[in-house]
Amino acid sequence: MTDFLNDILFIFQRLDWLGVVDILLVMLIFFGILYLVRDTQAMILLRGIILILVLVALLTSLVNLPAFSWLIRTALPATVFAIPVILAPEIRRALERIGRAGTFFRASNKDAGREMQQTIQTVVAAAARLSARQHGALIIMERFDRLDEYARSGIVVNSSVTPEMLMQIFYPNTPLHDGAVIVAGKKIVAAACVMPLSSSGILARSPDRKMGLRHRAALGISEASDAIAVVVSEETGAISIAHAGRIIRRLDIERLESILSAFYNPGKLRPENFLQRHFPYLFSRKDE
């Protein structure tokens, strides 16, 4: 134990500003990894791996265990190669987010923003009417990432966005009411589209566990792209919105419109407020 403490003291004595920067960079990488796998099954797995590594390091440093140390040294390379296989979905999602990072710095198109306001008002009006009638709905609004592969899984509509059209699509027991509607600009691209289901643990830990496949699909597409998903619950009529793997529930019409406007009309926000411009859901009150 004394030797272990002496080793730690020796490390701190030799620490300089370059070493501090080195440590901070490593901490930043670990923080990024933990942030990307938050609220997923991989987070539980990662916690277990870290705990095992800490315990093994303490055992091998405090107690002389030659056979145990040999076993750990032999098994460690195989474990290192196994982690990328186990965490493949999370690694893919992280790379997709890094690839989309360039979209944060795209110049805003004010004309397109003004055109989107009409679509936003249409979606909000349709969501209000669907909510009042308790008709379930899932509306996916495209942003920078193209959703062509998901549109191909449904029925091509290619019509203008109107409240009446959305109401008709999501009317119960009609051929297109199951699945999601994809909206791009002023057009309804496709209906009855299949969305990827979220593997996140957010819904499992939610106080309202009645949320079903629509909400999981909304979270799933928000994890796989930068699209915004508007969900209307068939059981309660509650309106929710999902983006970047996060969901805000029980929205009223005013809040729904303000959040959508923040995404599609960034000119309404102060241009220097980067976080509020690109992550407006962080500044919205979450209903529990």
Contact between residue 61 and residue 68 where contact means Cβ atoms under 8 Å apart: no
Whether this prediction's pTM lies above 0.85 is answered by no
pLDDT value for 112: 54
Residues 6+ apart with CB under 8 A from 180: 138, 139, 140, 150, 154, 191, 192, 193, 194, 195, 217, 221, 229
The first and second tokens of residue 91, run together, are: 């690694």
List, as one string, the DSSP characters of 103-139: GGGSPP-HHHHHHHHHHHHHHHHHHHHHHHHT--EEE
pLDDT value for 169: 94
The first and second tokens of residue 125, run together, are: 């009006």
Compute the radius of gyration of the chain from its Cα atoms. 24
Full pLDDT tens readout for the chain, 288 residues: 566 667 667 666 677 778 778 888 888 887 877 776 665 556 666 677 777 777 777 777 777 777 777 777 777 777 777 767 766 666 666 666 666 555 444 444 555 556 788 899 999 999 999 999 999 999 999 988 888 889 999 999 999 999 999 999 999 988 888 899 999 988 999 999 999 888 666 655 555 555 688 888 998 898 888 899 999 998 889 999 998 888 888 899 999 999 998 887 654 444 334 444 444 444 444 443
- Give the bridge partners for 230, in sequence order: 139, 241
Domains of the chain (ranges; CATH) run: 2-102 (no CATH), 109-283 (3.40.1700.10)
Contact between residue 222 and residue 243 where contact means Cβ atoms under 8 Å apart: yes
pLDDT value for 89: 63
pLDDT value for 93: 64
pLDDT value for 268: 45
